Amino acid sequence: MPASQEKRLTTFAWRSLLRLGFRLLYNELAFTYDAVSAVVSLGQWSTWQRAALPHLNARPGDPVLELAHGTGRLAIDLRRAGYRLTALDLSRAMGHIAGRRLGRWGWRPSLVRARAQALPFPAERFAAVVSTFPAEFIADPRTLGEISRVLIPGGRLVIVLGGLLTGGDPAARSLELAYRVTGQRGPWPVVLEARLAAAGFAARMFSEPLPRSVVIVCVAEKPRSAP
């Protein structure tokens, strides 16, 4: 077998294994998600998520949609910021966990179980859409088309794509090595910027430095009027 073909097969096998692991983590093993995310980020997961907040360009009281809300930690920050939050996830298990978490704060959360590729909301409903550490669904043209549909003109999609550990301690170096070995520091299978442009968004990607890490953020804005 040629070396190039063997490399492609190995990459495919790793990606398939990772997809299986993520599927279990989001569903059957959702109760372990917070612990796992704390370990792999050295406790910085929520800090990475909050990096999205300054870029929403929304005012308190504005309706905001969170895609793939997970265990509801960012939802708490969004509610504290005063947004009228709707949070969506396909995982029933994540919906239960997030609902209990928000309920402990006395909030009656608007949690929706649906696919991002078919959002059950009217057009121009939200001032901003946010998603942190999403799976590949976020680059699906159907997802981006739906996000564009439900955003108001000039509304923003903010995506936290990942965090890079920059501390020089052994734990940070070991985790970054593990990320590289498992292919999680390589490029996405598709070019997200190209997909966003095709969906009509004006997008920019940037790295935001934090004390012990760097978070990768994408900010995409829907045009205010049709060209």
pLDDT, tens digit (0-9, with 9 covering 90-100), for 114-150:
999 999 999 999 999 999 999 889 999 999 999 999 9
* Whether the predicted pLDDT of 186 surpasses 60: no
**CB neighbourhood size of 190 (10 A):** 12
pLDDT at 178: 46
Q: Which residue has the higher pLDDT, 89 or 182?
A: 89
Is residue 53 within 8 Å of residue 81, measured between CB atoms? yes
Rounded to 5 degrees, what are φ and ψ at 204?
A: -140, 145
Per-residue pLDDT band at 196 (split at 50, 70, 90): very high
- Tell me how many degrees the CA angle 202-205-209 measures, rounded to the nearest 5: 145
* pLDDT surpassing 60 at residue 10: no
Contacts of 136 (CB under 8 A, 6+ apart): 188, 189, 190
Q: Which of 28-42, 50-64, 174-188 has the lowest mean pLDDT?
A: 174-188
Rounded Cα–Cα distance for residues 196 and 72 (Å): 26
Domains of the chain: which residue ranges?
Answer: 32-221
Least confident among 22-26, 130-134, 136-140, 221-225: 22-26
- Among residues 145, 130, 58, which one has the least CA distance to residue 87? 130
Tell me which fold the domain 32-221 belongs to: Rossmann fold (3.40.50)
Of residues 188 and 85, more confidently modeled: 85
pLDDT for 189 beyond 90: no
Q: Would you say the C-alpha torsion 107, 32, 49, 148 has a positive or negative sign? A: negative
Q: Residue 96 above 80 pLDDT?
A: yes
> Confidence class of residue 11 from pLDDT cuts 50, 70 and 90?
very low
User: C-alpha angle 218/223/227, rounded to 5°?
Assistant: 135
Those residues whose C-beta lies under 8 Å from the C-beta of residue 27, and which sit 6 or more positions away, are 91, 92, 93
Q: Which pLDDT value is given to residue 31?
A: 85
Pairing of strands 213-221, 84-89: unpaired
| Residues 14-33, mean pLDDT to the nearest whole number | 70
The mean pLDDT value for 170-191 works out to 50
Q: What is the pLDDT of residue 182?
A: 40
What is this structure's pTM? 0.84
Range list of H helices, 123-169: 141-150
pLDDT digits (tens, 9 = 90+) for 65-92: 999 999 999 999 999 999 999 999 999 9
